[in-house]
Amino acid sequence: MSLLDFPRLHFRGFARANVPTGNRNTHGNIDIATNTVSMAGEPVDLSRPPAEFHAHLKQLTPRFNAKGKPDPDGIFSQAAGHNFCGNNHFSWENARITGVQLRDGEIDTQDPLVGAKLGLWGHYNEYLRTTFNRARWIDNNPAQPDTTLIYAGQFTLSDKLATPNTPTLFTADIAQAHSVRWLGSGHITERSGHFLDEEIGRSRLFQFSVSKQDPHFLFNAELPLPASMHVLQQALADDEVLGLTVQYCLFNMSTPQKPDSPVFYDLAGSIGLWRRDELATYPAGRLLQPRQASLGPVLVKLHADRVSFNMPTAIPFTTRDADAVSEQHPTHALGGKQALGDLLLQDDSGTLLARIPEQLYRDHWRHHGVFDVPLQHAPAAGSLSLGSAQAQWDEADWVSQSDSNQLYLEAPNRNKHEQFPQAITVQSRFRGELAAPPSLAQAEDGALLTVEQQPSPLGHGYTALTLTGRQPGATRIVLGTGKHKQYLGVRVLPDDWHLDDVPAEQVDYAFLYRHVMSYYELVYPFMSDKVFSLADQCKCETYARLMWQMCDPQNRDKSYYMPSTRELSLPKSRLFLKYLTQVEAKAKAALPAPATPHAIGSKAELIGELKKAIDLELSLMLQYLYAAYSIPNYAQGAALVQAGRWLPAELELACGAEDRRRNSGTRGMLLEIAHEEMIHYLLVNNVLMALGEPFHRGAPVLGQQARQRFGLDTEFAFEPFSEHVLARFVRFEWPDYIPTPGKSIATFYIAIRQALAELPGLFESGGGKRGGEHHLFLKELTNRAYPGYQLEVSDRDSALFAIDFVTEQGEGVAVDSPHFASSHFQRLRTVAGKFSACGKPFEPALPALKNPVLEARADCTVVTDQTARALMQLYQGCYELTFLLMAHHFAQRPLGSLRRSRLMNASIDLMTGLLRPLSAALMTMPSGVPGRHAGPPVPEPVSSQVSSDYSLGCDMLAQKCLALAQYARSLESDVIGMAPIEMLEFFNQQLTDLSRGKMSREA
């Protein structure tokens, strides 16, 4: 039974309490039923500075000097108390294990665990994300010292030599607040005449328990634990054990030397097992209550051969030194425990069950009042008693208690006929055993509270109570009758429901201060003294969001909740959210002016914009290709899985399925989009040529040059694939029907479309189609609606259709459009979602350089590795050849299908058969930059010219193929395979035949 079984750990230290004392209402200045404050019998004028009320309170008599004696000019005021500026912080200081009991017998003070540090901490603040979080000491009813609640969130045990950055041996979260269970008066017999003698002589017993089922109940598996902790772990494995119970007592408050400073208490306690059917916050055992007021309760458990006693505050200390021991020992030295002779435990018949020698209970600092003596006789039925000639304790047969011992209830909202009941569970025991009491609970003041009771689903020995506030104020619930009475404290909060009906637009700073903050500014000045004054509007506006978060009712059980005193009603707490709404509304949502499309005013300007669009599509295509080729192909990815570097799911995400069918993963998706960008490049060229202009080869641009040319703020860069690059691609394809700041590619095309629709005289009457047809890489939806479409452009309607096709394929028309799912925008977003959903970050790309180049240029990195540079030279030559082939095709102004053109087919074959394998090879080659591969170079603009004469042009291109093939053969072995060389030689021959008329121009 908890501390009355083994194992047991004893600890000692100090507690630092920074508890506010101006709220105790010694002079009737505070009405806790309404949270209002008066001065000289009149409500405080809230237009006056709060400091005036503070000064008034401190000047009230009686007053006391530094030694606590009456003095009209003294530094202490009873009305303000000794710590008017207290902030409710509560902490354990230098608390350490002093003894270990693993079994009956002597307490081991040499165990390796002795000296280990204990910590009691507040809750982690998710909003401020702080460490060193303090617990809070709160008085439910500040006028009553037996209503203290401790809001703590974490309990820790650390090595004796631990520093703040040393891992703990054990840590656990504390599930609920714990309240004072036994309040003793006269725990120190000697009095000094100090005005705080009553508080100095008080003792308080607290208890909390931590559940082993909590995910944060953790023994540190990475540290060597003392053997005694392994014994504790073994005991915790018992199914009847719920976790650990921590009991501690506070007494011997230090004498304050000056106003507005925290005080210290002696802290002594014990740790034991928390067993099934024991309350988490009330000590277990048979309860014996004292007849003498200076004595405290005793708990008893009878075992087969021994009797265990839990009596940490049962017997007072005799004397107390006038001053604290030292800075390291901030409390005052105490004399011995009062000598009451041997204490005899007897049953109803007078049979002696056990004897507590005087020397044993007076040896308090060794066992902290938790010890065992031999059982001398088996007890008969009936109550127990403990005593001597000087003291007597009698058993309280019935003990009824709840873990919810100090409660806050909302007042009823009478206008809306709403009540706010709170349900709690009470446990009842008869002489230590669970039992159903003959009568249980009633409100001490029925005008403030109603109590309903019914059987609890927990069964025998438990009762469910439903408590409902009737009107504001503080009262108690009486459990039991006669000598068996126990109490629960209840505070019904002020009736502020009229504030719930105030519209948010009326809740400005003045309103919030008048109705809420002024009370706390007057009664709890620590905010203005140490943080910021609630009377300062500028500070409140600055921290309006944080104020709401701290006062959010959902955080009421957290140590960091404000106000710490928990006396804020639900309607008042909601005012902070309304105030925040007002503060946020002041900062007008300055929506950026929409990026209106540039109005193109002439055919010449339209031609210039179309050329920009061609450069844009080419630049996009090459970025997609660079990212795609940075991802290994399926076979290479499978090898990475075999090597343990990738997971199978990562292989599928990056490279698709093994069957190489429709699912080609992220790599395949990027290649598909690149292919479609190539079609956009050709289609915009078709529009350009329909206006009578020649084919525009275009030039890829990036970095600052791209920003200047396109007016877009999204970066253009050749970069290996990553989630960052993927997000950039999503921005490229962002549609015009979803608002976005600044200019986008969509805005770019809106202007072109508008010019095509409105400018006169763009197309020659009866001019026919220009540029040639193509049917590759068109969507199934296009095929279903327009199965004969091949990118033809001949007039205004076909030009508008072409531009709509480009934007539809990129943007998706609308979210509810059938084109949306297959748009570039949504396909990229879908893949981005898959990467975000990965259990761990995964970037499948090879570590290629960003913007690799052969010669220095802005925003680029020069590759210095000679082998890679040689291959990059070949890539640049093949890139030029590819676009020269296209340019030569269009120079002939063909009208047939591009798929029948030998020049266009050669260009496509070179892209696939040369640029693709060269890109993949360069992605794996050293760059000369440590940790980075080379990658295909950012292409230089194609400056070479080809004769418009078909035969001469083909001959020039044939010679270029031959020169590239010879250059490729000169490279080191294994740098490039034979297939690319043979393809160059193949096209050298084909272009030679075309130049001599030995082969038809169309396939």
Within 10 angstroms of residue 470's Cβ, the number of other Cβ atoms is: 18
CA–CA separation, 89 and 20 (whole Å): 9
CA–CA separation, 114 and 875 (whole Å): 73
User: Residue 184: beta bridge partners?
Assistant: 203
Of 300, 375, 382, the closest CA to residue 349 belongs to 382
Helices (H), 189-274: 197-200, 227-236
CA–CA separation, 418 and 411 (whole Å): 9
Q: Which residues of 494-523 are buried (b: 16+ CB within 10 A; e: fewer)?
A: bbbbebbeeeeeebbbebbbebbbbbbbbb
Within 10 angstroms of residue 948's Cβ, the number of other Cβ atoms is: 13
pLDDT reported for residue 743:
79
CB 852 within 8 A of CB 718: yes
Please, what are the averages of pLDDT over each run of 10 residues along the chain (1003 residues)?
90 98 95 93 92 94 96 96 96 98 93 97 93 96 96 96 93 97 96 96 98 97 93 96 98 97 98 97 97 96 96 98 96 97 95 97 97 92 94 96 96 96 97 90 94 94 96 95 89 97 95 95 89 88 93 96 95 96 78 70 95 96 96 92 94 90 89 92 91 92 92 93 96 89 84 94 73 63 74 89 90 87 94 93 93 94 95 95 90 71 88 90 94 94 88 95 94 80 93 93 82
Q: Is the dihedral of CA 231, 233, 235, 237 positive or negative?
A: negative
Q: DSSP label at 719?
A: -
CB 525 within 8 A of CB 563: no
Tokens of 388: 């001597």
486: which residues sit within 8 A by CB, 6+ positions away?
399, 400, 401, 478, 479, 480
SS3 785: helix
Sequence length of the chain is 1003
478: which residues sit within 8 A by CB, 6+ positions away?
441, 442, 443, 444, 485, 486, 487
pLDDT reported for residue 53:
95
CA–CA separation, 349 and 335 (whole Å): 37
CB 337 within 8 A of CB 361: yes
**Start-to-end C-alpha separation, the chain:** 95
CB 204 within 8 A of CB 184: yes
CA–CA separation, 770 and 615 (whole Å): 20
Q: Which residues of 385-410 are buried (b: 16+ CB within 10 A; e: fewer)?
A: bbbeeebbbbbbbbbbbbbbbbbbbb
Within 10 angstroms of residue 77's Cβ, the number of other Cβ atoms is: 23
CA atoms within 13 A on the CB side of 858: 8
753: which residues sit within 8 A by CB, 6+ positions away?
800, 803, 804, 807
CA–CA separation, 802 and 792 (whole Å): 8
Of 291, 289, 488, the closest CA to residue 396 belongs to 289
CB 937 within 8 A of CB 853: yes
Give this prediction's pTM.
Answer: 0.80
CA–CA separation, 294 and 61 (whole Å): 30
pLDDT reported for residue 81:
96
Angle between helices 902-910 and 978-995 (to 10 degrees): 160
Q: Alpha carbon of 316 to those of 285, 335, 399: distances in Å? A: 21, 10, 24
pLDDT reported for residue 771:
57
Phi, psi of 529 (to 5 degrees): -80, -40
Scan for tokens 């039923």, then name that residue: 33
Single-letter code of the amino acid located at 935:
G
User: Residue 77: beta bridge partners?
Assistant: 63, 81
CA–CA separation, 770 and 773 (whole Å): 9
152: which residues sit within 8 A by CB, 6+ positions away?
90, 120, 121, 122, 123, 135, 136, 174, 177, 178, 208, 559
836: which residues sit within 8 A by CB, 6+ positions away?
723
Helices and strands of the chain, counted as H and E runs: 26, 39
Tokens of 534: 């609630």
